[in-house]
């Protein structure tokens, strides 16, 4: 297990306060300010099992195994591994979700999308919902948990992603959901049910955009959940629009996260499929991030 830099423990004693000082010092060139403090605190709490209050005691001690795990985590952070994959979990819409490199790390924008759907439909019971490209289940699970008597169908092309999503459902005791391994681009004809809501955060980043993205995203998160071909960057939205024409009930809604650069082009996809009630919405950062469609 001892595989951090030079194989030598870089902490002089076994005090938690010394471990924290080492983490802050080692990571200060990679992170700064509040982010630096939060990341070090997060991994300290995870590997020591101690509360924030306990860790504030300068005399609290930790064992050798904890020190080794913590120092290995620091080395992984320095090499670009996202902290969420090191910890192995995230908190998302009041749920604890397992994550690993087979699924995307849920973003705040996706949490906004979930909240939008719940606010729009909180008074409606018995909704039938389709989540396309469920990944960790970060959209499907909070919808299933918060919309009364709902039934959610969550699909993904990745068997490993679905295993994570199923574990997250068990972890959070959510059972009104079914998971299907399905390639929506090739097997959309296998979907037979009708739905009140179709939601998706599909791959929408053109392959050529990868060179401008943060290395920790490109090198560690699953490419199949991020990228689409340059020649057809809206391929998933075309399939979603066609699927909705056939399987979305009248009065139902489509909610999708989008590439901020392609808002108008994505609207045209839905217009071309005979949808007229289409709204382009911003995220909290003021970027074009969501499209909401109602089937009239």
pLDDT, one tens digit per residue, over 149-201 is 999 999 999 999 999 999 999 999 999 999 999 999 999 988 989 999 999 99
Does the pLDDT of residue 87 top 70, yes or no?
yes
Verdict on whether the full-model pTM lies above 0.95: no
Contact 112, 180 (CB under 8 A): no
Per-residue confidence (pLDDT) for residue 22, from 0 to 100: 92
Does the pLDDT of residue 17 top 80, yes or no?
yes
Q: How confident is the model at residue 8 (pLDDT cuts 50, 70, 90)?
A: low
Highest mean pLDDT: which of 8-22, 147-161, 218-232? 147-161
Per-residue confidence (pLDDT) for residue 36, from 0 to 100: 92
For CA atoms 53, 59, 64, 67, the dihedral sign is: positive
Cα(62)–Cα(123) distance, rounded to whole angstroms?
Answer: 49
Residue among 109, 147, 36 nearest 256 (CA): 109
User: Domain map of the chain by residue range?
Assistant: 5-79, 89-294
Q: How confident is the model at residue 3 (pLDDT cuts 50, 70, 90)?
A: low
Residue among 111, 113, 152, 161 nearest 257 (CA): 113
Q: How far is CA 266 from CA 48, 174, 274, in A?
A: 47, 33, 13
Cα(121)–Cα(282) distance, rounded to whole angstroms?
Answer: 19
| The two structure tokens encoding residue 247 | 């399987």
Per-residue confidence (pLDDT) for residue 4, from 0 to 100: 52
Looking at per-residue pLDDT, the higher value among 117 and 52 belongs to 117
Does the pLDDT of residue 82 top 90, yes or no?
yes
Contact 289, 261 (CB under 8 A): no
Average pLDDT over residues 49-76: 89
Q: Which fold has domain 89-294?
A: Rossmann fold (3.40.50)
pLDDT, one tens digit per residue, over 144-157 is 999 999 999 999 99
* 3 state SS of 294: strand
Looking at per-residue pLDDT, the higher value among 236 and 58 belongs to 236
Does the pLDDT of residue 53 top 90, yes or no?
no
Per-residue confidence (pLDDT) for residue 146, from 0 to 100: 98
Q: Residue 248: which residues within 8 A CB-CB, separation 6 or more?
A: 194, 195, 196, 198, 254, 295
Q: Residue 57: which residues within 8 A CB-CB, separation 6 or more?
A: 16, 17
Residue 291 dihedral angles phi and psi, to the nearest 5°? -125, 130
∠ CA 250-253-254, rounded to 5°: 125
Residue among 217, 212, 219, 216 nearest 30 (CA): 216
């Amino acid at each position: 297990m001892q595989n951090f830099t030079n194989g030598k423990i870089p902490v002089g004693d076994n005090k938690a306060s010394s471990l924290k000082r080492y983490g802050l010092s080692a990571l200060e060139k990679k992170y700064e300010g509040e982010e630096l403090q939060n990341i070090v605190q997060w991994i300290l709490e995870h590997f020591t099992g101690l509360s924030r209050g306990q860790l504030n005691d300068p005399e609290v001690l930790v064992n050798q195994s904890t020190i080794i795990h913590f120092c290995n985590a620091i080395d992984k952070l320095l090499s670009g591994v996202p902290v969420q994959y090191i910890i192995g979990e995230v908190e998302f819409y009041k749920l604890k979700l397992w994550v690993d490199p087979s699924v995307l790390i849920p973003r705040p924008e996706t949490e906004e999308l979930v909240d939008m759907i719940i606010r729009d439909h909180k008074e409606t019971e018995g909704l039938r919902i389709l989540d396309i490209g469920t990944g960790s289940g970060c959209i499907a699970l909070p919808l299933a948990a918060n919309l009364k008597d709902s039934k959610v169908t969550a699909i993904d092309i990745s068997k490993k992603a679905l295993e994570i999503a199923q574990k997250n459902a068990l972890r959070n005791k959510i059972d009104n959901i079914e998971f299907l391994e399905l390639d929506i681009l090739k097997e959309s004809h296998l979907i037979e049910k009708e739905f009140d809501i179709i939601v998706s955060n599909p791959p929408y980043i053109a392959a050529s955009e990868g060179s401008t993205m943060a290395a920790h995203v490109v090198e560690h998160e699953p490419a199949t959940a991020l990228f689409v071909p340059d020649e057809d960057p809206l391929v998933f939205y075309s399939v979603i629009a066609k699927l909705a024409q056939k399987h979305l009930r009248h009065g139902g809604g489509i909610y999708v996260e989008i590439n901020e650069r392609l808002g108008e082009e994505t609207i045209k996809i839905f217009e071309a499929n005979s949808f007229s009630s289409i709204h382009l919405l911003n995220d909290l950062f003021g970027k074009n991030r969501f499209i909401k469609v109602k089937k009239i």
